[in-house]
Amino acid sequence: MTQTETKDTAGFETLQRPELEKVCKWIFELGAVALVLYYIYSAGFGSASEQYHLGLYLLLTFALIGILYRFRKSSPVSRPSVLDFLLIAGSIFTIGYWIVEYPNLANRAGNYNPLDIFVGAVAIIISFEVSRRTVGWALPIIAIIGILYALFGRAMPDAIAHKGFPLRRIIEYCFFSQAGVFGIMANVMATYVILFIFFGAFLEKSGVGQFFINLPMALAGRSIGGAAKVSVMTSGFFGSVAGSAIANTVATGTFTIPLMKRTGFRPHVAGAVEASASVGGQFLPPVMGAGAFLMAERTGLPYSQIALLSIVPAFLYFLSVWVMVHFEAKKQGLERISAAEIPKFIPLLKSGWYYLLPLLTLIGILIAGYTAYKAAFFSILVTIGVSYFRPETRLTPKRIWEAMVSGAKNSLAIGGAVGTIGIIVAVIDLTGLGRIFPELVLTVAGSNRAIAILLLAAASLILGMGIPVTAAYLITSELAVPILTTPEMGIPIIAAHLIIFWLSQDSNITPPVALGAYAGAAIARADPWKTGWACFKFAKLLYIMPLLFAYTHILFTEGTPEQYVLSVVSAVVGTIIFSIVTMGYFVRKTHWYEWILLAFAAFLAYIYNIWTFIVAIVLVVIVYIIQKRSEV
């Protein structure tokens, strides 16, 4: 890969221009800063009308992609080509037309003139192109297949056939309706997600990231497998505000992976531990992944409530990885981190406690009942203030400018996918596929929740092979939530969304895709395939948690407080046993019959019945005694 070829947050090879010519660089930076300032101001003082709130976001995002991302490898490296300028001009024209004509378009809805249709068609093509440049071919190909499906519905097999729609109607629905390019994905990105991307960029410039590494080192560095446990905690701290598994892997892995290797972890295991822990940042409040904001919009629940419901599942995920790395270290007989490398907790906290203020501000404002974008706004201000506690971390005007440019640049990868995702969702809505697909799955699964979840996991993995996890969540939830919430399944809507949200992360850790694992492998200089399978092992709770959402009261969406407490306690114990089973090691390496007893114990613990719970504990104690005696 050359200097100008990078991996974006979705893991696809992209062709960027890291060294723009001076004039182009200034134009890009001015556009980036305008994007950041407008949406930070909107978060603090109220957003403009929909035409400007959504229109300016897409216009600036598409135009900036035209400057930063090359059309192909042979395009100029340091300046936009003619085709890039056409993309930029087309973006300004089509999105600008939508902004200026917005009131008139509303008045002539259903009776659009030829210019409207032309603009819509060009905008759809531009949406495909910016998606191709930022996240690869898969997303636009899916959208094109969707449009062909909408066109030729009558020619489809009976199971998925529909009446078919003329191209004009498809263009109208994909561009002018609230389900298309300017639909829920664009709205959530412009209102919530980019603000937290900007927040992450300010945190990175303020020195908070190093504190989030030092604090876990002080807390867990002295324990067995301390280097890997530091990775788990660091990824949790950073991931809770970063909201991107691959960005988390790269940001924290540059420190934690060499540390793990130095203390004896095999390279592919070190890369896998970091990637597995980084995926957990998608589930861990207060920020979680971009899909959580989409979930708030889709369910109508406050984001703070979704974050609150996600605390226990996120804790269980990190607990699982923590227990696994503990027994991996015991199994391999690995060294501990040198005491000289471990900072003392109290002095560290005294010297840098204020670095926690942005995170505490974010949590406090969400708990107080304010919106997520308001919380992001004030957290950014606090971050700037905190940076002035030390001269070396001060966010001077120059560094604030750099943070804004970095934040805008980081938002482009997912921003480039917004229009195409909206088109896919619009096609699903227009053709009725959202009603057809549930019927097909229910025909196979009946009322069996486990079979339905297994089918949806497979669908999510296949979809995740080519598109970012947020897109996978939105598209899969559009099809799958109606299945899980049917009377036959009887799953509450928030549990259904969380099932899909967790399953949509599987492309980060499951071969043959394992995008997060491959990022960890690159840093560890390890075999990507071995790293991917090791990552699958460490992150295996990703596939257990959806079943707990479906069969237990772990979300407390229904049932009594006693049932909730029993569900949580059972899940904690079950997760610990499940992690031991996964590693095949307890006091020593487990024999096959011990493994079967522990696996059965994990299953019984997860059932959350008091009697099965007691039997599970008894089985674990029996295996422990057997292994202890065999050591004597």
Residue 327 contacts residue 583 (beta carbons within 8 Å): yes
**pLDDT tens track for 137-175:** 888 999 999 999 999 999 999 888 999 999 999 999 999
pLDDT of 385 above 90: yes
Average per-residue pLDDT for the chain: 88
Q: By C-alpha distance, which of 508, 504, 505, 526 is closest to 517?
A: 508
| Residue 69: burial class (beta carbons within 10 Å; 0-12, 13-18, 19+) | buried
- DSSP code at position 350: H
**Alpha carbon 529 to its chain's center:** 22
* Positive or negative torsion for Cα 531, 537, 538, 543: positive
> What per-residue confidence (pLDDT) applies to 339?
80
**pLDDT tens track for 307-321:** 899 999 999 999 999
**Alpha carbon 587 to its chain's center:** 36
> What per-residue confidence (pLDDT) applies to 6?
45
pLDDT of 463 above 80: no
Residue 350 contacts residue 214 (beta carbons within 8 Å): no
pLDDT (mean) for 268-274: 93
> What per-residue confidence (pLDDT) applies to 513?
65
**Alpha carbon 492 to its chain's center:** 22
User: Could you tell me the pTM of the whole model?
Assistant: 0.82
CA distances from 49 to 42, 101, 610 (A): 11, 13, 55
For the chain, the first-to-last Cα distance in angstroms comes to: 55
∠ at Cα 452 (560, 613), nearest 5°? 40
**pLDDT tens track for 96-114:** 999 999 999 989 988 999 9
Measured distance CA(229)–CA(240) in Å, rounded = 16
**pLDDT tens track for 470-508:** 878 888 888 889 889 988 888 999 999 999 999 988 877
CA distances from 78 to 18, 60, 411 (A): 8, 20, 21
